[in-house]
Each structure stands twice: as structure tokens, then as C-alpha cells.
């Protein structure tokens, strides 16, 4: 029996900054330890040269100006020049190193996210808006890089610089240094309060911005429908409402983030005012040389920027960690359809498919299939027909294990597909959907997706059997013609024949056809039906059809109603059955279906 929770649901994380930081370091630290060590050494040079610049100010003032020591001027100026040159090169190299590491981390997590998303079930994507998911990932993936880079630069540059400058300040006047730090505790308490409030506001802002990008992407993808139904005003009002909420949330984040400015400026003003008052008193009444004071003030002013960045670090980290958490919420989703420990590769002989008492619903309170049992014989065509909502597409979705049944078994050549590997199962299946999907690339690329190792000759042979070769050659670049986004440059019939060619080149023994001609005009349907007849030859085929004229030659027809098998048999047998569901459907579609079969 399948897990009742058949789709993955993200868990909203409440991990602390320290927990997320620990995880990020554990996942990335070893890979980039050498680069981070080099960056930290460069940042240490930056910190040391900054402290040296403040420290030497005493010699500049006392020796060059007060004592007029001309012999020391060249030495002092040269040392300052060398310090700035070292600082410049160290700043350059640490920035390049951290950028390379950050870009690599972003690329690694993008690859990891894509690989993980491919492992999640179809149900997850059916429940998640693809545009919103793509927008959320694109916004948040840089959060992990920012957490690491901010941590490294804050610790190695700002903290070391601050330590060096505080050392200078203490060496010049410990009492002045004590005055500076008297007002520090109230500042830290205020920043902690701001960071807590910022956490929830940042998450809401990310989600709202994802909705904005998602809505725009959906509008672009469905622009033909938007124009056809004059939906511009409705969608504009909807998107503008989301944008207004996102703007309001962003403004709140700005107010919270910038609230640190008056706190830190007040702290700096109080500290500098106190220092100046004390230093002026000593100079006026004590006759102390101004060199130490100038050196102290230089260190204090230089310490202001790193101190301010460190004070804002928790606030900035909160924003980056929110982004990182939302990426981890996706990465931490456990695939519900992982291969079982006893899973073995599927061994296909004649590809007979058997349903035994299969029950399934897309949610716990909704039963779509209610004990479905039938057999699709190997090498033959089995058609599924019935009214909308009868469960036909659900049957198709269960065969490649897009979902798992709640009860019952699905067997291929006597092997329960729940106990075979998904890779081997899906390698044995070719699938043609009602709405063919083409990917970015050329026509040749899209056919080759059916089997990556297919040769150009095999691709062209598949296209001939799919009755696509002639229209492909008529394209500007033949098989190397780009198809545009989802094949927008091709007609519906052409796209469908390319999807059939993709299925043919796969060479799979089982072919699933989900209403492959229902959306086509009569001329296109005839061309696609010829291609389907080629594709169906010699394979086990399960086909859904609304137009009974397309499946009158099927070896077996399964008639479904209300999630159960109502009838089964050949077209002739079912069409002649009085008061039968198939006979009624057949009569509604006469004369096409009826005349073909009699």
C-alpha cells in the first residue's frame, strides 16, 4: 500500500542563524577551505594595514609637525605608502577569491536543486505552481553564498580590523577607549530587537516577490490566451495587487533595516563627543602633545565602519538566512517514490500489463479508481474509453509510477512495478501526451531526448515513421532548426509528430498514448494517426481516445465509468451490446465510429 501522503510537502523551517550557518559550513567548508584561508589571510593584511595607518598617526603629528624631525618624514611617508599598496592588493585578491567561491557555491546548489527536483514525484509539481517555484529558487539560491561571504568578511576583515584598531586605541589611551564602550550594550540590545522583527518580514517579502515573478512568467507563457480573452485588465489588477503588497513589505524591511542607522550614529556621536571633550580638557589643562590624541581619533574613526558592519551583521545575516532556509526547505523534501530496498531491474518479455484491484485517489478524501482490474496483452493495443472523470488518465499515470496506488497491484510480465527500479520501468515505456512538449533546442535535439545515444540516421528513420521527415526538411535548417519556446514555431500536428518520433526512437516495448489526437484538426489528426499506427506496431499499447474512430481496430477496449471497469471487449462486440455504455458512446459519435466498425 502506498504512503497516504503521496506528494512531498515542504516543511517551513524555523532553524536559527547558527544552525543554518553550521549546515552551510558543513556542506561547503571542506570544498573551499584553501580559498577561504587565502581570503582570510588577505583580509588579515587589510586589517593589519588599517591598524598600522591609525597607529602611525602619532608619529606623523608629533615627529613631523611638533618636533619637526625632517629625517623621519621619508620613512613615515614610505611606510604609509607601502601599507596602502599592500591593502589594495590584499583587497583585490580577497574579493576575487570570495567571488569565485561564491559563484561556485551558487552553481553547485543550482545543480543540486535541479537534480533533487528531478527526483521528486509528479504530484509535487502538480501541487506547486511551476512559475512560483522557479521564481522562488532564482531569488533564494544566492542566500547560501551570501551567508558564507558575509560571515568570512565580517570575521576576517571587520572583526580583525576592529581588534587591531581597538588595540591602537588602548595603546594610546585606555581611559578614552573605556569611554567609547560605555554606550555599546544598549546598541547591541536594540540591534537584536530589530533582527528578530526582520526575520518574518523578510520571508514574507521573498514569497510575495516570488508571486510577482511567477504571475509575470505565467502571463508571458499564456499571452495568446490573455489576448484572446481580453484578460489584460483582470491580470493587471491581480498583479498590481501583489506588487503593492510586495512593495509594502519591502518598505517595512527597509524601515527595519535602516533603523540601525540612528542607533549606530547615536552611538558614534556620543563616543566621539566624549572623546573630544576629554582630549580637549587634557590638551588645554595638561599640556599633553596632540599626537597620541590624533592617533586615537584616527583609530576611532577608522573603527566606525567595521564596527557598524559588525553591528548590522545579524540583521544582514537574518535576511540571507531566510533565503537559505527556503532553499533547504526544497532540498529537504523526501521523495515519496524512492526505489524500495528490494527493487530490481524490470525484465520485459512480452510486456503484458495487469491491473489487480487498483484503488487510487489524488487526495485522501477523493477516490478516482475503485478497484480497477484488467489485462493489456503484450504486443497488442488496449484502448481506454469512457466519459470525462472516469479515471482513464489516472490509469496511464500509474503505469510509469507517476503515482503509486493505495491498494492493489500493477504488474508487467508478472512483476509488481512497486518492486522494480523506476529507471528500468520508465526505460521500458514511451509516452505521448495529449499536449506535446518540446524543449529548447533543435528538432534533432528534441527527438534525441527519446534516447540520448541515438544516431542521426536513427533519428531520421524515426521521423520518417512518424510522418515528420518531409515537414522537417521544409524547415529553414532542417533537423537543426530551433523549435522556439515549446515548439511555438510549429503547428500542433507537427509538434505531435515530433513527440511520436521521440517515442519511436526510444525503442521501448510499451507505448502509452494519452489522447494524442484529441486537440488536432481533421487533417492533422489523419497525419498523426498514420504516425501512431506505425508507432503501435509490435508494441504493447495503452491508448486513451475520445474519438472512437481512432481505436476501432484496437485488440481490446476497456470502458471505464466512475473509476471502475464497466465493460471490455472488441469494438464489434461492445458496439452491438444493447444498452451498453460503449454502444451509447458509439452512437453519439456516429456515423464516423459506427461506419468504420461495421
Which is nearest to 162 in space by CA: 308, 306, 313?
A: 306
pLDDT on residue 57: 81
Q: List the domain boundaries for the chain.
A: 17-331
pTM of the model: 0.70
- Please say whether the beta carbons of 510 and 351 come within 8 A: yes
pLDDT on residue 196: 65
Element (H, E) at 543: strand 540-544
Hey, what's the cell of 222?
A: 499564456
pLDDT on residue 597: 42
| pLDDT tens, per residue, the chain with 598 residues | 444 445 565 555 556 777 888 888 888 888 888 998 999 999 999 989 988 888 888 777 777 666 677 777 788 888 889 999 998 999 899 989 988 998 888 888 888 888 888 888 777 777 776 666 776 677 677 778 888 888 888 878 888 888 888 888 888 877 777 766 766 666 666 666 666 666 666 667 767 777 777 777 777 767 767 777 677 888 888 888 888 887 887 787 777 767 666 776 777 677 777 777 777 777 677 666 667 777 877 887 788 778 777 777 776 777 788 778 888 888 888 877 778 888 999 999 999 999 999 999 887 778 899 999 999 999 999 999 988 888 998 999 999 998 899 999 999 999 999 999 999 999 999 988 877 888 888 999 999 999 999 999 999 999 988 888 989 999 989 999 998 766 777 888 888 889 889 988 998 999 998 876 665 666 666 777 777 777 787 889 999 987 777 788 889 999 999 899 999 999 888 888 888 888 888 887 765 444 444 3
pLDDT on residue 457: 94
pLDDT on residue 532: 76
User: So what's the architecture of 17-331 in CATH?
Assistant: Up-down Bundle (1.20)
DSSP secondary structure string for all residues of 346-384: ---SS--EEEEEEEE-SBTTB-SEEEEEEEE-TTSEEEE
Q: Sheet of 540-544: strands edge to edge?
A: 429-432, 510-514, 540-544, 381-385, 556-561, 564-569
- Please say whether the beta carbons of 571 and 371 come within 8 A: no
- How far apart CA 184 and CA 260 sit, in angstroms, is 13
Phi, psi of 439 (to 5 degrees): -100, 165
Torsion of CA 390, 396, 399, 402, to 10 degrees: -100
Amino acid at each position: 500500500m502506498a504512503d497516504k501522503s503521496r506528494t512531498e510537502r515542504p516543511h517551513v523551517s524555523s532553524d536559527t542563524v547558527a544552525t543554518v550557518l553550521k549546515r552551510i559550513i558543513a556542506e561547503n567548508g571542506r570544498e573551499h577551505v584553501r580559498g577561504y584561508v587565502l581570503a582570510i589571510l588577505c583580509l588579515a593584511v587589510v586589517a593589519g594595514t588599517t591598524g598600522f595607518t591609525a597607529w602611525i598617526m602619532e608619529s606623523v603629528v608629533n615627529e613631523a609637525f611638533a618636533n619637526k624631525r625632517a629625517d623621519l618624514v621619508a620613512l613615515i611617508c614610505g611606510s604609509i605608502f607601502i601599507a596602502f599598496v599592500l591593502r589594495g592588493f590584499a583587497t583585490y585578491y580577497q574579493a576575487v577569491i570570495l567571488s569565485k567561491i561564491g559563484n561556485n557555491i551558487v552553481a553547485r546548489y543550482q545543480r543540486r536543486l535541479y537534480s533533487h527536483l528531478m527526483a521528486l514525484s509528479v504530484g509535487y509539481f502538480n501541487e506547486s505552481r511551476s512559475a512560483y517555484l522557479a521564481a522562488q529558487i532564482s531569488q533564494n539560491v544566492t542566500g547560501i553564498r551570501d551567508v558564507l561571504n558575509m560571515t568570512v568578511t565580517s570575521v576576517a576583515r571587520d572583526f580583525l580590523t576592529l581588534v587591531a584598531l581597538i588595540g591602537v586605541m588602548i595603546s594610546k589611551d585606555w581611559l578614552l577607549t573605556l569611554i567609547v564602550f560605555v554606550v555599546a550594550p544598549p546598541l547591541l540590545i536594540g540591534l537584536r530587537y530589530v533582527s528578530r522583527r526582520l526575520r518574518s518580514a523578510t520571508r514574507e517579502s521573498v514569497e510575495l516577490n516570488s508571486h510577482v515573478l511567477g504571475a509575470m512568467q505565467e502571463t508571458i507563457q499564456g499571452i495568446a490566451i490573455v489576448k484572446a480573452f481580453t484578460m489584460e485588465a483582470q491580470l493587471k489588477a491581480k498583479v498590481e495587487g501583489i506588487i503593492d503588497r510586495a512593495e509594502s513589505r519591502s518598505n517595512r524591511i527597509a524601515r527595519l533595516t535602516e533603523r540601525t542607522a540612528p542607533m549606530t550614529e547615536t552611538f558614534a556621536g556620543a563616543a566621539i563627543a566624549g572623546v573630544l571633550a576629554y582630549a580637549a580638557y587634557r590638551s588645554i589643562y595638561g599640556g599633553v602633545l596632540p599626537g597620541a590624541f590624533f592617533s586615537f581619533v584616527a583609530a576611532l574613526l577608522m573603527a566606525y565602519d567595521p564596527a557598524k558592519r559588525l553591528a548590522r551583521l545579524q540583521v544582514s545575516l537574518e535576511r540571507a538566512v531566510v533565503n537559505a532556509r527556503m532553499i533547504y526547505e526544497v532540498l529537504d523534501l523526501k521523495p515519496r517514490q524512492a526505489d524500495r530496498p528490494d527493487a530490481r531491474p524490470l525484465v520485459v518479455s512480452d510486456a503484458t500489463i495487469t491491473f489487480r484491484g487498483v484503488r487510487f485517489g489524488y487526495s485522501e478524501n477523493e477516490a478516482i479508481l475503485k478497484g480497477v482490474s484488467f489485462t493489456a496483452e503484450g504486443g497488442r493495443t488496449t484502448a481506454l474509453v469512457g466519459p470525462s472523470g472516469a479515471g482513464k488518465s489516472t490509469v496511464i499515470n500509474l503505469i510509469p509510477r507517476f503515482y503509486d496506488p493505495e491498494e492493489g497491484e500493477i504488474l508487467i510480465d508478472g512483476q509488481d512495478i512497486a518492486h522494480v527500479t523506476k529507471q528500468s520501468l520508465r526505460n521500458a515505456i514511451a509516452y505521448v501526451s495529449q499536449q506535446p512538449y518540446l524543449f529548447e533546442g533543435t528538432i534533432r535535439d528534441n527527438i534525441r531526448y527519446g534516447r540520448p545515444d541515438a544516431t542521426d540516421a536513427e533519428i531520421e528513420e524515426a521521423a520518417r515513421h512518424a510522418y515528420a521527415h518531409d515537414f522537417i526538411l521544409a524547415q529553414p535548417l532542417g533537423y537543426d532548426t530551433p523549435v522556439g519556446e515549446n515548439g511555438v514555431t510549429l503547428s500542433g500536428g507537427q509538434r505531435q509528430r515530433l513527440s511520436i518520433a521521440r517515442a519511436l526512437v526510444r525503442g521501448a516495448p510499451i507505448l502509452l498514448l494519452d489522447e494524442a489526437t484529441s486537440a488536432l484538426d481533421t487533417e492533422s489528426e489523419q497525419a498523426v494517426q498514420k504516425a501512431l499506427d506505425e508507432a503501435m506496431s509490435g508494441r504493447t499499447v495503452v491508448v486513451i481516445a475520445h474519438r472512437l474512430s481512432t481505436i476501432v481496430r484496437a485488440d481490446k477496449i476497456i470502458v471505464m465509468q466512475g473509476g471502475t471497469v464497466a465493460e471490455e471487449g472488441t469494438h464489434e462486440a461492445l458496439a452491438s451490446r444493447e444498452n451498453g455504455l460503449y454502444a451509447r458512446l458509439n452512437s453519439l459519435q456516429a456515423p464516423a465510429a459506427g461506419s468504420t466498425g461495421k
